[in-house]
Chains A and B, each alone.
Chain A
Amino acid sequence: MSDKKGIDILDLIKKVLFTDFVKGLKVTLGYNISKSITHRYPDDEKWIPYRRFRGVHTLNRDENGRELCVACELCVKACPTSCITVVPMEDDTGRGIADRVAKVWRVNLVRCLFCGYCEDACPTRAVRLGREYELACSDFRCTVRNREDLLMPQPVPESIEGGIVAKAKFERPLSGIKVTADLKVTKKRAW
């Protein structure tokens, strides 16, 4: 409506011809025929995050397979929620890159807020936040991850840049549901 007195002719013509209505219909029709951006997760698609994604922690090894962690406990100090526990021990059998290795390296994922401070504090780049993000489980045992789990190779290797949607398979055994991504069949996301 115009502020002026009387009838705005242009406005009236617009109303008579349903201009705004047609514009709106055009917009929604455009969306209707455009491709949906829904990821069909978990049925047959899974999002592979970028490298910078901050998921579950990983402990890394050097190229000779020695653990990078020297159990300096800097991550424990840096952690704002005190969710990391490190117990050091001495081991000169070459398990780690130094004589000091972690006997226990445990993170409580319920308390962790995935800030990545442990990653920043780590002098040897041993602890990194990985790309695993499926954290739902049915009891509290799986919310605590130990050194042995974290040293396992990652399902998404570092060489994959991420930011893609991979074809996935949804499995529902009694032991718990699982979505396995097939990294060979991927596509860019739709938007």
Chain B
Amino acid sequence: MMIPDISTILEVVLIAVKVVVVTMILFGLPLPLTWLERKVAGHIQVRLGPWRVGPHGLLQPFADMIKLLMKEDIVPDRADKFLFTIAPLLAMVPAFAVFVAIPFGENIVIPVINKEVSLYISDMNVGILYILAISGLGVYGIILGGWASNSKYSLIGGLRSSAQMISYEISISFAVIGVVMLSNSLSLVDIVRSQGGSLLQWNFFYLPVGPVWCAIFIIGSLAEINRIPFDLPEDEGTLGAGFHTEYSGMKFALFMLAEYVAMVSVSVLTVILFFGGWNSPVPLPIPIPPIFWFVAKVAFFIYFFMWVRFTLPRYRYDQLMTIGWKILIPVSLVTILITGFMRI
């Protein structure tokens, strides 16, 4: 038997550790995010938001978690039991799998063992392609959940979700193609590196097409992750709760988890593709760790998505389709053409 040498073993261990750390962070993130979302909602509506559980309601997510764990886990009588059970997982796993290809910073050196560690699990040379492919799979959880519930509301919610995904995935992909044309690479690390230097190197400021790409990407992503103003699949007004009408307890929590992780991944992608990733906006004399810029930008976009959620009303279904097919796709095609001419 061939015994692998020590550096290979260390490499494998390192990757395993990174996977565990990222997964733990992603499992933990929805807790502060639910709190933040409710606080933002409260303050935008001139209320206080969660207040009574812990100081400033900080322990509210834990109370919610305990509540969800204690709730009865209902599987409807006529539901497809198997699909009903795995649908939340199908929604959740792709949301997590996206983070395999996402870089969080340049390589750092761990001081004690003096080893260089990369801040990504895998730097694929087709990273962005992988992310688009995997995040598109998340919709299976929603469709199957809606289908397996054997309820009209769930089914319509699932159908809307799939239609929405098909309509907006195209324009998102075109927006990403634009970024790839600007950065000449499909690898996210290279995309970030190409935006280094200063503010003006960011893809967002590649005038006049940068802001257009960014707008298309953000609008399309909002539709992909089913957030207001595009949360037609869980339209409370007309569909009960949409695809998760029949879900309760932990299964429902998994759907919510998937939704929040998807929101984080969209924020991260927006930052990486358009806002220079971990690059600092202006050259500074004092060295600030790049991870700070990365987290700050991502936090801003997470706040931005919540801010939008409590600003805009929900679009009607025909408006959703009009925006997707009649505006975003033609605009993105024209912008690709312009970008192509500009890059000659």
Contact = CB atoms under 8 A, between A and B. Distances in A.
B307 A37 contact: no
B48 A28 contact: no
Interface string A14-38: 0000100100110111011110111
B193 to A, nearest CB: 30
A28 B47 contact: no
A31 B52 CA distance: 22
Contact of A36 (B42, B308, B310): B42
A43 interface: yes
A77 interface: no
A111 interface: no
Contacts of A29: 307
A41 B48 CA distance: 12
B312 interface: yes
A40 interface: yes
Contacts of B42: 36
B43 A31 contact: yes
A34 B51 CA distance: 17
B43 A32 contact: yes
B125 interface: no
B295 to A, nearest CB: 21
B311 A36 contact: no
Given A24-B311, A37-B47, A40-B48, 14 more contacts: A18-B215, A21-B312, A24-B312, A25-B308, A25-B311, A31-B43, A32-B40, A32-B43, A33-B43, A34-B46, A36-B42, A36-B48, A37-B46, A38-B46
A36 B46 CA distance: 5
Q: How large is the interface on A (under 10, 10 to 19, 20 to 34, 35 or more residues)?
A: 10 to 19
A18 B311 CA distance: 13
B48 A38 contact: yes
A32 B48 contact: no
B44 interface: yes
Contacts of A37: 46-47
Contacts of A36: 42-43, 46-48
Interface in A27-66: 27-29, 31-34, 36-38, 40, 43
A37 B42 CA distance: 11
B184 interface: no
A28 B52 contact: no
Contacts of A24: 311-312
B107 interface: no
Interface of B: 40, 42-48, 51-52, 215, 307-308, 310-312
A31 B45 contact: yes
Most buried by B among A18, A32, A38: A32
Majority SS at the chain A contact face: helix
Contacts of B46: 31, 34, 36-38
Given A34-B46, A36-B46, A28 B310 contact: yes
B51 A28 contact: no
Going nearest first, the 3 A-B pairs with the smallest beta carbon separation are: A28-B311, A38-B48, A24-B311
A32 B51 contact: no
B40 A43 contact: no
B325 to A, nearest CB: 16
A25 B52 contact: no
B234 to A, nearest CB: 21
Interface string A73-108: 000000000000000000000000000000000000
A38 B40 contact: no
22 contacts: A18-B215, A21-B311, A21-B312, A24-B312, A25-B307, A27-B311, A28-B307, A28-B310, A31-B46, A32-B43, A32-B44, A32-B307, A33-B43, A34-B46, A36-B46, A36-B47, A36-B48, A37-B46, A37-B47, A38-B47, A40-B51, A43-B51
Q: Most A CB atoms within 10 A — which of B44, B45, B307, B308?
A: B44
B211 to A, nearest CB: 10
A21 B313 CA distance: 11
A37 B45 CA distance: 10
B46 to A, nearest CB: 5
Contacts of A18: 215
Contacts of B310: 28
Nearest to A35: B46
A7 to B, nearest CB: 13
Nearest to A29: B307
A18 B214 CA distance: 13
A116 to B, nearest CB: 32
B335 to A, nearest CB: 12
A55 B45 CA distance: 30
A36 B56 CA distance: 13
